[in-house]
Structures are given as C-alpha cells and as structure tokens.
C-alpha cells in the first residue's frame, strides 16, 4: 500500500547508515517534475586502512564520482543529502532482506520488502566483486554448456555469462512486484535463441525473489523450441517455462508483465518494443544489436543537416552515429507512448560491444508538447523514419498529428 514518502525515506535512513547490515544500495530515476543532481548513486560499506567507510559512487552523464565517508556525522550528512534528492527509486540489499522503494506519480512511496532466504555472508573489501545474481553452479548453466561439471564458467563462455548476469541484475533493479498485475507473473523473452536469459530470469525471479512465474521464450527456429523445451523438462521447470516457435511480432503469447529481448538484431528489437507497447507491458528491457535500418536511411539522405556534415562524412562515424540516433529515437517513442525510459550500459564493453540497454517502465503518462516537438524536429532534420515509428504508426497517429 502507498505510504507517506517522508516516512518511507526515514525508514531507509538507519539501514543506509548501518555498517554491518547494509550490503549495497542504489538510487536512480527521477520523480515527476523533478530531476536529481545525479543520474544514479550507489552506496556500500567498505573497509579501508583508515577503518570502515560508507562509499558513495555518484554517476553523472559523463563519469562516476567516488567518496568514502567516515561513519558518524559525515556519513549521516551524505545520506541525508541523497535522501533529499528527488530520486524515483531506491533499492537496498541488506544481510537479511531486500527493500525497494518507488515514488508514485502522486508523490507517495510504494515499498516492497523481501526477506532473504538465508542471511548473507558479508565482505567489506574495498575491491570486493558484486554479489552474483546468477550462480555459476546453477544446473541450467551446465545444461546450456556455459559451465563445466564442477560449476565453473568455461573460458569460451565467460562473455555470455557476464551478459546474462548483468541483464538479470538490470531487471532486478527495477522489478516491483506490486506493479505487475498477474499472478503468476508473466514474462516473455522475445527472440530467446538458446534461452540463456530465459532460464536465468526464471531462476532469479522464482528462486531468489520467490515469485510465482510463467515464462515463455519465443524464437523463429523450431530447433530452438525443441532444444529449450528439452532443457526445461530436464530441470523440472516445464510446468512454468515454455517455448513457442514464431516471429516476435506474431507468436501466440498471452499479454505479459515483463518483456525481455537480448540482442534481437536490427529491427527485431523494434518489433519487440512495438509488441510490448501494444501489450501495454508494465516493464520492458531490451538490449539492441545492430542498427542497420537508420544507417541505410542516413546513407541515402540528400544531405545531413547543418552543421553536421562532418559527422556524416565518414562511413564509420556515420554508422556509430546511427546507433546512437536509433536508440535515442526508440527511447523518445517509448516516452511518447507512456513509458519512463532509461538508456544505460548494462555490461562492460569487453564482454560485448552491444552493451546498451533500453529499460522502460510503463506509467501511462501523456507526452509533453516539448517531447513531441523535439521528436518531430530531430527526425525531420535527419530525414529518417525509425522502424519503431513505422510499426506503431496507428498508436502514434494522434500523438504526432
């Protein structure tokens, strides 16, 4: 149930300042009509030579800024300043539980608490690795050929493991079960391929988060459906995890709560986003792969807008700009259609150069005239029509008229 925001934030304060119980806290997003100083902040206790400190890593648009605060008045001041920022979400992990706070459009707090299955061992090393959400010892990873019989990630599969691990982490950071209308929670993975993400998401949601889940993986290949269904059966998950053969646009799938798409190539990402919009899915996470559609349009355009001729003069720069422009327009279109959108890096580029994540939460908010004007001006200047706009022409007709 919603509760007064000040009271909910006050409840978070002692957890944030507890050097023994806090594992990690993340704040991000923004409240309606307000923008915080930082795009995202992360807090955790660390042990330095000078003693235990509260480490605060604040991210702006360009870089991360790290400060280590001594516990006591200094840490309390830092925490109070952050709690006063108009962040839209707080996510706390302690040794006993996970706490998620979301600020509603009415300025109230929606709080969800999940008790940990077991008390976690705590490491305060300054350079300790992030706790894993996808345990390499999980049987599904061995069944998919990611790990060996001893539960060790194979050298040739390290990149895939890290991609899936960080995608699940990005999902967990914004997952608010109170906003998901169905029980069991319905999840669909569009373009699932060998279903690394499908199985990892199911194991995390049903295991670590304790949610009842029905998950469907969609792929155009019959071989993928047959292989993945056999893996699900071998794991004893066939009752909850299903696979269907079909295209992203037309596969027979019930309207889900969560839509996932990991590296759907070129306009397949647009097909996944378009289907999510038509479903009015509450939560959408898509990591695009390839951006050929706008690259072709830019190459065919008469001339780039002034003074950007130099930007499009060289093919490689034009291609990289097309990548950025494609995802910027995808984010704008989702915002026009009632979503709050983040475009973030979800995994280090050493694991994949396609490491952009579009994360969208449905709010139903009407688009502002300024956003409509900015979208129209940008597409007109570059003489482009995004694939997502073509797919959602009917939904956008009244908005862009």
**What pLDDT, on the 0 to 100 scale, is given for residue 72?**
93
Q: List the domain range (segments joined by +) for residue 290.
A: 139-400
Claim to verify: residue 227 and residue 144 sit in the same structural domain = yes
The answer to whether the beta carbons of residues 275 and 246 sit under 8 Å apart is: no
Dist. CA 65–CA 59, nearest whole Å: 6
Domain count, the chain: 2
Strands 356-362 and 258-265: unpaired
In a domain, 126, yes or no: no
DSSP notation for 179-248: G---SSEEEEEET-TT-HHHHHHHHIIIIIS---EEEEEEES-HHHHHHHHHHHHHHT-TTTEEEEES-T
Claim to verify: residue 26 and residue 73 sit in the same structural domain = yes
pTM for the full model?
Answer: 0.69
Residue with tokens 């790290």: 66
**What pLDDT, on the 0 to 100 scale, is given for residue 17?**
95
From 85, 114, 86, select the one nearest 100 (Cα to Cα).
Answer: 114
**What pLDDT, on the 0 to 100 scale, is given for residue 330?**
96
In a domain, 87, yes or no: yes
Claim to verify: residue 340 and residue 201 sit in the same structural domain = yes
Claim to verify: residue 100 and residue 143 sit in the same structural domain = no
In a domain, 258, yes or no: yes
**What pLDDT, on the 0 to 100 scale, is given for residue 116?**
60
**What pLDDT, on the 0 to 100 scale, is given for residue 65?**
87
CATH number at residue 159: 3.40.50.150
The answer to whether the beta carbons of residues 192 and 216 sit under 8 Å apart is: no
For the chain, the residue count is: 401
In a domain, 388, yes or no: yes
Q: Is 55 helix (H, G, I), strand (E, B) or coil?
A: strand
**What pLDDT, on the 0 to 100 scale, is given for residue 45?**
92
**What pLDDT, on the 0 to 100 scale, is given for residue 227?**
96
Task: Tell me how crowded residue 333 is: count the other CB atoms within 10 A of its CB.
Answer: 26
The answer to whether the beta carbons of residues 13 and 34 sit under 8 Å apart is: no
Residues of the chain with pLDDT under 70: 116-131
Residues 252-267 pLDDT 10s: 999 999 999 988 888 9
Claim to verify: residue 236 and residue 341 sit in the same structural domain = yes
Claim to verify: residue 176 and residue 40 sit in the same structural domain = no
Claim to verify: residue 211 and residue 254 sit in the same structural domain = yes
In a domain, 247, yes or no: yes
Claim to verify: residue 73 and residue 164 sit in the same structural domain = no
Residues 198-235 pLDDT 10s: 999 999 999 888 899 999 999 999 999 999 999 999 99
**What pLDDT, on the 0 to 100 scale, is given for residue 351?**
72
From 376, 320, 365, select the one nearest 341 (Cα to Cα).
Answer: 365
Tokens of 134: 């996808």
In a domain, 355, yes or no: yes
**What pLDDT, on the 0 to 100 scale, is given for residue 248?**
95
Task: Tell me how crowded residue 20 is: count the other CB atoms within 10 A of its CB.
Answer: 10
Distances (CA, A) of 246 to 47, 225, 288, 314: 52, 10, 20, 39
């Amino acid at each position: 149930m919603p509760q007064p925001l000040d009271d909910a934030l006050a409840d978070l304060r002692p957890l944030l300042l507890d050097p023994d119980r806090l594992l990690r806290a993340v704040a991000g997003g923004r409240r309606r009509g307000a923008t915080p100083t930082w795009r995202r902040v992360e807090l955790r206790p660390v042990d330095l030579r000078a003693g235990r400190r509260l480490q605060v890593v604040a991210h702006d648009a360009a870089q991360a800024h790290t400060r280590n605060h001594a516990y006591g008045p200094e840490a309390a001041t830092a925490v109070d300043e952050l709690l006063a920022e108009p962040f839209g979400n707080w996510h706390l992990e302690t040794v006993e539980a996970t706490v998620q706070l979301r600020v509603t459009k009415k300025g109230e707090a929606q709080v969800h608490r999940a008790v940990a299955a077991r008390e976690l061992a705590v490491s305060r090393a300054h350079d300790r690795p992030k706790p894993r959400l996808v345990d390499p010892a999980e049987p599904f990873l061995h069944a998919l050929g990611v790990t060996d019989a001893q539960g060790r990630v194979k050298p040739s599969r390290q990149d895939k493991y890290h991609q899936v691990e960080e995608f699940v982490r990005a999902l967990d950071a914004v997952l608010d079960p109170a906003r998901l209308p169905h029980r069991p929670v319905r999840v669909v993975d569009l373009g699932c391929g060998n279903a690394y993400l499908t199985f990892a998401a199911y194991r995390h949601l049903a295991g670590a988060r304790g949610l009842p889940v029905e998950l469907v993986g969609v792929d155009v290949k019959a071989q993928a459906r047959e292989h993945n269904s056999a893996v699900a059966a071998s794991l004893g998950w066939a009752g909850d995890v299903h696979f269907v053969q079909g295209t992203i646009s037309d596969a027979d799938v019930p309207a889900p709560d969560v839509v996932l798409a990991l590296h759907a190539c070129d306009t397949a990402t647009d097909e996944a986003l378009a289907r999510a919009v038509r479903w009015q899915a509450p939560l959408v996470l898509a990591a695009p792969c390839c951006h050929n559609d706008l690259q072709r349009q830019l190459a065919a355009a008469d001339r780039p807008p002034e003074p950007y001729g130099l930007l499009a003069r060289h093919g490689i720069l034009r291609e990289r700009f097309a990548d950025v422009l494609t995802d910027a327009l995808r984010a704008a279109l989702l915002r026009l259609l009632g979503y709050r959108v983040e475009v973030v890096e979800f995994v280090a580029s050493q694991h994949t150069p396609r490491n952009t994540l579009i994360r969208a939460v449905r709010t139903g908010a009407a688009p502002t005239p300024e956003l409509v004007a900015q979208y129209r001006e940008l597409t007109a200047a570059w003489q482009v029509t995004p694939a997502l706009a073509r797919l959602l022409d009917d939904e956008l007709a009244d908005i862009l008229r």
